């Protein structure tokens, strides 16, 4: 038993060193700077069937941002987690990024609330701190005046489509 435990610890330590060694090697190529999400914005509510826009400004002094990772962290009553959505960052945006991702809310049969995190990954394997958002998806019949602000603050974000958040929401939570 002790021998198996020792073997497991040795394998764990070797795997950890290999991972750290990989990051050290990638840092030699791409640099040690970590991407930073400098500004973010998303509406707190949208009507079912509308696209929800998540606006981001991000930068990385090394210019090696490679992916935007989106995850649904919470939906009341949902038994299975959603898969993570990965959006590739275009070459001309790897140092400075500004625009929006969008999530399709069509196909829902009833209102839902979600919490989502967005993180930027760079080629060296570094991750930004996450930007976190809450969203209530409401019935289309709800009055427009009851829907909270939909537009980001002026002059902060480019009106550029960075890509679709590849998560298909479900209202089937039983």
What pLDDT score was predicted for residue 24? 80
* Pairwise CA distance, residues 78 & 94, whole Å: 35
Q: Max Cα separation, the chain?
A: 67
Q: What percent of the chain has pLDDT over 90?
A: 64
**Extended strands (E) in the chain:** 36-42, 45-47, 51-59, 65-75, 85-88, 96-104, 112-122, 131-138, 161-164
Angle at Cα 82 formed by Cα 80 and Cα 148, nearest 5°?
115
Is residue 80 over pLDDT 90? no
What pLDDT score was predicted for residue 118? 98
Is residue 123 over pLDDT 90? yes
Q: How far is CA 137 from CA 24, 89, 109, 148, 170, in A?
A: 43, 27, 11, 11, 11
Is residue 30 over pLDDT 70? yes
Please give the helix or strand (H or E) that residue 6 lies within, else none.
helix 2-30
> Regarding beta strands 96-104 and 131-138, do their DSSP bridges make them parallel or antiparallel, or are they unpaired?
unpaired
Q: How confident is the model at residue 5 (pLDDT cuts 50, 70, 90)?
A: very low
* Average pLDDT rounded to a whole number, residues 95-108: 95
What pLDDT score was predicted for residue 17? 42
Residues 66 and 163: beta-carbon distance below 8 Å: no
């Amino acid at each position: 038993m002790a021998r198996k435990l020792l073997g497991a610890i040795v394998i764990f330590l070797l795997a950890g060193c290999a991972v750290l060694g990989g990051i050290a090697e990638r840092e030699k190529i791409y640099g040690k700077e970590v991407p930073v999400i400098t500004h973010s914005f998303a509406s707190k509510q949208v009507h079912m069937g509308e696209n929800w826009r998540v606006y981001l400004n991000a930068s990385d002094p090394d210019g090696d941002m490679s992916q935007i990772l989106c995850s649904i962290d919470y939906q009341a009553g949902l038994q299975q987690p959603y898969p993570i959505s990965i959006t590739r960052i275009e070459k001309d945006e790897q140092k400075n990024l500004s625009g929006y991702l969008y999530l399709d809310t069509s196909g829902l049969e009833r209102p839902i609330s979600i919490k989502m995190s967005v993180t930027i990954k760079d080629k060296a394997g570094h991750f930004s701190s996450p930007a976190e958002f809450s969203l209530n998806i409401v019935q289309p019949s709800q009055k427009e005046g009851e829907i909270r602000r939909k537009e980001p603050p002026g002059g902060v974000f480019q009106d550029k489509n960075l890509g679709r958040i590849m998560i298909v929401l479900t209202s089937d939570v039983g």
